Amino acid sequence: MSATPHDLHALTLRHPEIASLMAGREIGWLNPEHVATAKALASPALQASGVGVQDIEDADARLMRFAPWIAEAFPETAAASGRIESPLVAAPGLQQALSGIASTAYPLSATESPLPGRLMIKCDNALPISGSIKARGGIHEVLKHAERLAVDAGLLHQEDDYRAFQRDEIRDLLAGQQVVVGSTGNLGLSIGIMSARLGFRVTVHMSADAKQWKKDLLRARGAEVVEHCGDYGKAVAAGREEAQQPNAHFIDDESSRDLFVGYATAASRLAEQLSAQGIPVDARHPLCVYLPCGVGGGPGGVAYGLKQVFGDAVHCFFAEPVNSPCMLLGMLTGEHDGIAVEDIGLDNRTCADGLAVGRASAFVGRVMAPLLSGIHTVRDEHLLELLALAYDSEGLMLEPSALAGVPGIHHVLRNDAPEWHAWRAANGLDDGEVQANTTHVVWATGGSMVPEAIWQADYQRGKALLSQASASRQE
């Protein structure tokens, strides 16, 4: 879609929220298409999506088959026997800090009363191998492709010890194959690192907003990096074109089912972690999960898996930068990938480079339509403030995009708009006891691989913003 002024006027009349998006205002949007989980999962759209519980179970089994090889190939995973997983940690310090944050614009500053419930961080920033949520979906698709090639060549059976991937005959087979991906950064890291370690030739097409340190790291790990002047969509298109060559496999972040189910395996693991900590999830003990969103594959896969595991007891929310609200725009209008943020005058520039996507995945948007509770947007300066708060209160070193989910807590608990009051009433969250029993999980999507100097610069910017806000508040 290429929106003319008349188109924009018509769109804004139908969807008043677009005026707020165009103005770069932070908003909290509730999804009117959301329905009960059982009804959603039985809908024709989800039945036709090509993903289901069996696909998630198959992906989890595949990751376990590869675990012995992963433990040897990546020594940092040996203590976990090759299982790629991240901790779930309570964040009482951050929860307390959010109750009285000194920011004149940040929505959580509306009240200094304690935030009820339990705030936890799912630390995918600490995932081994590539240090982000992309280690789930990206690594799964690379492993599935390698497994398929080895099985088809008669060099492997699923019952075998997968340390066979160290053998010369399998490495020689994979050396004749190419893996191609387009990325703003983190997906490229996960796919580039894993593909190179298996022996594939790997090419990562990276957009203009990708961080230089990510390009440097990929090259150091043996990947070819092709830099593009355009945005994420241009990088993906270039990768898709290159993968038309023989013996090339394109990993498509916009529509890959293998990526999607790789992300979805996180749900059962989160359930295990909650159970191990004695945290119930049911109608009287709801779970609210806040997921940063770029093109949509990572958060979409995780949310889909969570709805399969927890049903109506979990409420999933996406988070996007104010300059890159592609999923919100696509779902709000129903256009999905037929509209881009540039069509409404936004520049798609954000410090949250992993979320700098102008056009959402239509596959994910349609799957999420009956499942997703809502989406909120957040300004860059608030991401940086939260980055500083997360470190000062919890010692967490996160990248800006990893904090995008945090403002969702305000919308769920404190947004005063009539539709949010109605949503709380419909879901039992207007009950003080239920609010106190609610677990809020912010999915921290990346950060552990950020170079110290770059992280320090973001941290100092966040501290300065908090100081400025505090001074203004005292005047």
Structural domains of the chain, count: 2
Q: How far is residue 138's CA from residue 161's CA, in Å, rounded to a whole number?
A: 22
- 169 close to 155: Cβ distance less than 8 angstroms: yes
Residues 221 and 149 in one domain: yes
Which residues face 282 on adjacent strands?
285
In a domain, 25, yes or no: yes
pLDDT at 206: 85
Residues 375 and 320 in one domain: yes
In a domain, 182, yes or no: yes
Answer yes or no: is pLDDT of 2 > 60: no
* Last residue within a domain, chosen from 255, 275, 299: 255
* Range in 16-20, 49-53, 190-194, 228-232 the model is least confident about: 228-232
* Range in 114-118, 171-175, 315-319 the model is least confident about: 114-118
pLDDT at 228: 86
How much is the mean pLDDT over the chain? Answer: 93
Q: Mean pLDDT across the stretch 427-438? A: 97
pLDDT digit string, tens, across residues 55-110: 999 999 999 999 999 999 999 999 999 999 999 999 999 999 988 654 434 444 44
Residues 289 and 360 in one domain: yes
pLDDT at 85: 97
**Residue 185 binned pLDDT confidence (cut-offs 50, 70, 90):** confident
CB atoms within 10 A of CB 61: 12
**Residue 331 binned pLDDT confidence (cut-offs 50, 70, 90):** very high
Please enumerate in sequence order all residues whose Cβ is within 8 A of that of 384, keeping only pairs 6 or more positions apart, or say none: 351, 400, 458, 461, 462, 465
**Residue 244 binned pLDDT confidence (cut-offs 50, 70, 90):** confident
pLDDT digit string, tens, across residues 132-162: 999 999 999 999 999 999 999 999 999 999 9
In a domain, 467, yes or no: yes
- 22 close to 344: Cβ distance less than 8 angstroms: yes
Residues 433 and 308 in one domain: yes
Residues 414 and 462 in one domain: yes
**Residue 112 binned pLDDT confidence (cut-offs 50, 70, 90):** low
In a domain, 80, yes or no: no
In a domain, 300, yes or no: yes
Work out the percent of the chain whose per-residue pLDDT is above 90: 81
Residues 345 and 330 in one domain: yes
Q: Tell which wins on pLDDT, 243 or 14.
A: 14
* Range in 28-42, 101-115, 311-325, 441-455 the model is least confident about: 101-115
Task: Check residue 85 and report its DSSP letter.
Answer: -
Work out the percent of the chain whose per-residue pLDDT is above 70: 95
pLDDT at 469: 82
Q: Which of these, 324, 333, 327, lies nearest to 362 by C-alpha position?
A: 327
**Residue 296 binned pLDDT confidence (cut-offs 50, 70, 90):** very high
Answer yes or no: is pLDDT of 114 > 90: no
**Residue 475 binned pLDDT confidence (cut-offs 50, 70, 90):** low
In a domain, 150, yes or no: yes
pLDDT digit string, tens, across residues 308-328: 999 999 999 999 999 999 999
Please enumerate in sequence order all residues whose Cβ is within 8 A of that of 232, keeping only pairs 6 or more positions apart, or say none: 182, 183, 184, 207, 209, 294, 295, 356, 357, 358
Phi, psi of 390 (to 5 degrees): -65, -40
Tokens of 388: 């500083």
Find the CATH number of the domain harbouring 138: 3.40.50.1100
Q: Mean pLDDT across the stretch 386-409? A: 97
* Last residue within a domain, chosen from 255, 285, 305: 255
Beta strands in 293-407 (DSSP E): 314-321, 374-378
Residues 248 and 308 in one domain: no
Structural domain harbouring 147: 132-255
Answer yes or no: is pLDDT of 5 > 80: no
Tokens of 359: 């056009």
In a domain, 60, yes or no: no
CB atoms within 10 A of CB 275: 11
Residues 431 and 460 in one domain: yes
CB atoms within 10 A of CB 176: 12
Residues 200 and 324 in one domain: no
Residues 273 and 308 in one domain: yes
Instruction: Tell me whether residue 56 is exposed, middle or buried, using C-beta atoms within 10 angstroms of its C-beta: 0 to 12, 13 to 18, 19 or more.
Output: buried
pLDDT at 236: 79
Residues 313 and 446 in one domain: yes
* Last residue within a domain, chosen from 255, 282, 302: 255
Task: Check residue 280 and report its DSSP letter.
Answer: -
Q: Mean pLDDT across the stretch 182-197? A: 91
Residues 242 and 138 in one domain: yes
Q: Positive or negative, the Cα torsion across 143, 148, 150, 151?
A: positive
Reported residue count of the chain is 475
Answer yes or no: is pLDDT of 231 > 80: no
Please enumerate in sequence order all residues whose Cβ is within 8 A of that of 300, keeping only pairs 6 or more positions apart, or say none: 260, 263, 293, 361, 364, 367, 368
In a domain, 21, yes or no: yes
pLDDT at 243: 79
